[in-house]
Amino acid sequence: MPFTHLDENQQPQMVDVTDKAVTRRSATARALVQLTPEIMRQFDGQELQSKKGPVFHTAILAGIQAAKKTSELIPLCHPLPLTKCSVTIQAVDDVRVEIRATAVTDAKTGVEMEALTAASGAALTLYDMCKALSKAIVIEDIRLLEKTGGKSGDYQSAT
């Protein structure tokens, strides 16, 4: 008999959170996106217009929708019903914008991946809306800024 029991430490598994308490969880992530001066010149003070339409509006919606798909995109994430998801975009200098995404829920596990997925989804959509203008856009620095709740406690990014 050639097969033996597989050591399950070597195989993928969803972490068992069954016996954890439901507590309030929040997380904020950010993505920096480096555009170009040409693209930034389309900025009218509130929005950036592309040939596909308003860039920030579309990216914010895509980020919120991506957050709701987190457990579908990341194989070992638990499905979590978000009670809040907000995404904002603002300029940090003359070629870069910062996307910030916050996710909140009452759950047995944290929402860091939901915040990171929202930021990434918004960044990819921003890229898509602007790519006719430049192929050299770079999504740089997607990271967790802070989280609260859960056994591992609160976290604040050094940056």
Catalytic site positions: 128
| Among 23, 36, 133, 139, interactor with a second copy by CB under 8 A | 139
- The DSSP secondary-structure symbol of 136 reads -
- Tell me if 154 contacts a second copy by CB under 8 A: no
Q: Which of residues 51-110 bind a second copy (CB under 8 A)?
A: 51-54, 56-58, 60-62, 64-66, 68-69, 71-94, 97, 104-106, 108
- Tell me if 21 contacts a second copy by CB under 8 A: no
How does strand 138-148 pair with strand 155-156? antiparallel
Nearest approach, Cβ of residue 81 and a second copy (Å): 5
CB atoms near residue 131 (< 10 Å)? 14
- Tell me if 151 contacts a second copy by CB under 8 A: no
Rg over CA atoms, the chain: 19
| Residue among 61, 71, 96 at smallest CA distance from 17 | 71
